[in-house]
Each structure stands twice: as structure tokens, then as C-alpha cells.
Amino acid sequence: MLSSVHNWLAYVDFAVEHSDRLLVATLEHIEIIAFAIAIAVPIGVGLGFLITFDDRLATAVIWLAGVMMTVPSIALFGLLIPYFGIGAPSVIVALVLYTQLPVIRNTYVGLNDVDPAALEAGEAMGMTRLQLLRRVQLPIALPVIMAGVRNAVVILIGIATIGAFIGAGGLGDLLFDGISYVRTEMIVVTTVILSLLALAVDYAFSISEQLFRLNNGEQVESSATMRLLQRVIS
């Protein structure tokens, strides 16, 4: 009992003592992921949109993106390094590839989720293809796409740690150091930060997803935060 209290304090001590390094690593981690997401989302949404025109293409693309996802990350880094070199570029390419499934699939599902009768009504009212996309399909698809991006980001937070091994930096560096020097506090504290980061992102995205849904007039189980946000917004 006493020793566990003691350990607990050791972790806090570590976190305080190394707060600078932890902060820098966390920011680096976020930066890599933000970079990857900024590249991955336009590609995934674009592909998700394109495949709405051809069912067979859709099946093939989604299948391929799914297969992509089963490739172990270290193996993928290994396959990419010869072409993109050691460091962040290889990692970012890998991260972009890993996010394609959730983003493409959710875009596709979201765009197709629109009631065919509503699409026909829009067309019959004289909307152009682009107007139909912007005014009818996209508003309905947005929360679904958001959910895909949310899954993608949570996945990336984990995979990006492995990228540290090939020099991409971030919180993975601390895990590898923790392993090399067998420093329990370092491993535990970093793990907690990573988990909190994922939970925070997950939460933030789920809130924004709900806001999109509310905006569409859908019924959402509103949490305390949602009610607060609504009050602030309106």
C-alpha cells in the first residue's frame, strides 16, 4: 500500500520534473498528426466522393483501404523508408495511408445516406450537381465524415508513437527512451498522456459531430457540455 502511494508520487514527480520535455513531445506528436490529417482528409473525402459514382469502384477502393489498414505499421515504415527516407516524411505517408479507410468509407456512407427521394426532389427543383452536393448531400454527410476523422485521429495517435523509431519525434521518443533505460515512470507517464490525448480528441470530435447533427435538426442525446455549448452559441 505504502509503496504504491510512493510510486504514484514518483510519477507525479517525474511529470513535473520533465514537464518541458513532455510538453515539447506532446506538441510534436500533435503536429505530426495534424499534418497527416490535413493531407489525408482532403484525399479521403475526395476519393469517398468519387466512388459514389461507381459501385464497383467503391467496393474495390474500400477493400483496398481496408487491406492497407491490416499492414503492420513497422512493416509499412520499412517499405516506405527506401522511398521517403528516415524521418517524418515516411511516417506521415504511412499515417495518411492508415486514415484512408475511415475517411473514405464514412464519406461514401455519409454521401449515400441521403434519402434518394430528397435527391430526386433537389434535382427536380433545378439544383445543379454541385448545388445538390453542397446543399443536400454534404450537410447530411458531415457528421458521418466527422466520425470517420475522429476514428482516424485516435488510430494515428497510437501509430505515430512507432514513428519515433524512424526519427519522426513525438511522444514515441519517450516510450523508446523509457524502454532503453527501463524507466517505469517515463513509460507510465507517457502512456497516460497518450491515452488522455486520445480521449480528449475523441471527446472533442464527438462534440463537434453532435453539433453538426443538431444543426441538421437530428435528435441528439445531449450531454451537459452540449447544452452549455448550445447556450453559448445561440
Partner 1 sequence: MITFEHVTKQYADGTVAIEDVSFTVEEGTTTVLVGPSGCGKTTTMKLVNRLEDPTEGTVYRDGTPLSEFDRIDLRRNTGYVIQEIGLFDHMTVGENIATVPRLNGWDEDEIDARIDELLELMDLPPESYREQHPPELSGGQRQRVGVARALASDPDVLLMDEPFGALDPITRESLQDEFLKIQAELDTTILFVTHSIDEALKMGDRIAIFDVGEVVQYDTPQAILDEPKNEFVEDFIGSDRPLKKLKVTQVEDVMSPPTEEVATAGGVADATAPVQSDGGSTVSPLEPTDTALSALSRLVASEDGRLPVVEDGDVVGTVSDEDIRRSNAGDKP
Partner 2 sequence: MSDFVEGLIYLVENSDEVLYHFRGHLELVVVAELAALAFAIPASILAVRHDRIKKVVLGLGNVGQTIPTLAILALALPLLGLGFWPSILGLWAYAILPIIVNTVKGIENVDEEMVEAARGMGMTDWEILRSIQLPLALPVIFAGVRTSIVLVIGTAYLAMFIGGPGLGVMVVGGIQAYDWAQVIAGAIPGALLAIGADLSLSRIERYLGGDGGIDDTTVAA
Residues 202-221, mask of contacts with partner 1 (x by CB under 8 A): -------------xxxx---
Backbone φ, ψ for residue 215 (5° rounding): -60, -30
> Which of these, 200, 199, 192, 190, lies nearest to 170 by C-alpha position?
190
CA distance 47 to 24: 34
Backbone φ, ψ for residue 95 (5° rounding): -60, -40
CB 113 within 8 A of CB 103: no
Rg (CA), the chain: 21
Q: Does residue 127 bind partner 1 (CB under 8 A)?
A: yes
Is the sign of the CA dihedral 203, 166, 71, 89 positive or negative? positive
Q: Does residue 176 bind partner 2 (CB under 8 A)?
A: yes
The DSSP call for residue 165 is G
CA distance 192 to 174: 12
Residues 160-199, mask of contacts with partner 1 (x by CB under 8 A): ----------------------------------------
* Binding segment toward partner 1, per CB under 8 A, in 10-18, 31-39, 95-103, 110-118: 110-118
Residue number with CB closer to partner 1 (102 or 122)? 122
Q: Which of partner 2, partner 1, none has residue 159 at its interface (CB below 5 to 8 Å by kind)?
A: partner 2
User: How many residues of this chain interact with partner 1, rule: CB under 8 A?
Assistant: 23
Q: Does residue 136 bind partner 1 (CB under 8 A)?
A: yes
In a 13 Å sphere around the CA of 144, the CA atoms on its Cβ side amount to: 18
Residue number with CB closer to partner 1 (127 or 154)? 127
Residues that bind partner 2 (CB under 8 A): 66-67, 69-79, 81-83, 86, 98, 101-102, 105, 148, 151-152, 154-155, 157-159, 161-162, 165-166, 172, 175-176, 178-179, 182, 184, 187-188, 190-191, 194-195, 198-199, 202
Residues that bind partner 1 (CB under 8 A): 115-128, 131, 135-136, 139-140, 215-218
